[in-house]
Each structure stands twice: as structure tokens, then as C-alpha cells.
Structure 1
Amino acid sequence: MLTLHAPLVESTRHLVDERLLFRVKPGAILINCGCGGLLDPDATLAVLESGRLSGVGLDCSTPSRPSTTRCSTTLTSSSPRT
């Protein structure tokens, strides 16, 4: 399991990219408790669809804008685990 707890600043934007995600243990779950911009959304989706990640939990996705409404999303891979 990989969890993120970081503010979004220029140095953390897309901190979690395809290069990092393809290095995680197969079947891992990624949970972003920080800002949406910490994840590269295209890379996250590609790695999830590949089956490398078994799930992704997002408190907010990109773009991350302050609002009174909280968003919460959980994505799971439909790829069979090997």
C-alpha cells in the first residue's frame, strides 16, 4: 500500500508518475490523502488498467480546487491478478 500525505506545491506536482508507479509491488493499492495534483492522472490510470495497481483511492482528483464539497473516489483494476 502506498499512501500520500503531502501539500501540492510546484515540487510535488505529479510526484507520483509512471516511473514511480511501475516500480511499486504488483497488486499494490495507492491512496491519495493529499492534493489531487500529486498524481499524474494519465499515468495512474495507465498503471491501474495494466493491473500493476489493484486499486486507487482518491480524496480529490485533478484539478484540485478548494470547495465546500468533498469528493471521494475509489478505482479498482479489472485486470486479473497473476
Structure 2
Amino acid sequence: MAEVTILGLGNLLWADEGFGVRAAEKLFEQYADNEKVDVVDGGTQGLALLPWLQQTEKLLIMDAIDLVWRQVRWRCFVMNRFPPI
């Protein structure tokens, strides 16, 4: 079981060109040999990703969304507790 799961989400055909998926691809190159880190290309799989969410201590989700903001903004959401899955 990985201590950290890095989950890249996104659609390669959308305007953001799958930001999370592309970021996960790059990070996989760095962490491929690290047993404590699991890098997952989640694409648009939705609920099929639950096994990875259930088997990790810490989760980093990377995605881009269109919120109609005029300028680019980075947001970091930190949640200390998730409801049980």
C-alpha cells in the first residue's frame, strides 16, 4: 500500500489538454521506483478510482477546471479528514 497517491485527472480532448493526466505522466517518471508513492493517471474514470482512494494514507489530486475566471489562479484545498468510503 502506498503512503502517498498522486492522482492526475483530466480529459486530453478538453481545453486544458488533460493537465492532471500530463502532470501524472511526468511525476511517474520520477517516482516509478518509489514504493511509498503511487502515481495514477485517473483520466475521466470517476468511481473506478475508488480502490486507489481507499488504499492510500495521503492523496494529492491534480486537475484543472474551467470556472470562467479572468486570470489563472492556483487553489490548494487541504482536508484533514475524509468521510469513510
What's the TM-score bracket when you normalise by the shorter of the two chains? 0.3 to 0.5
The TM-score, its normalising length taken from structure 1, stands at 0.32
Larger radius of gyration: 2
The TM-score, its normalising length taken from structure 2, stands at 0.32
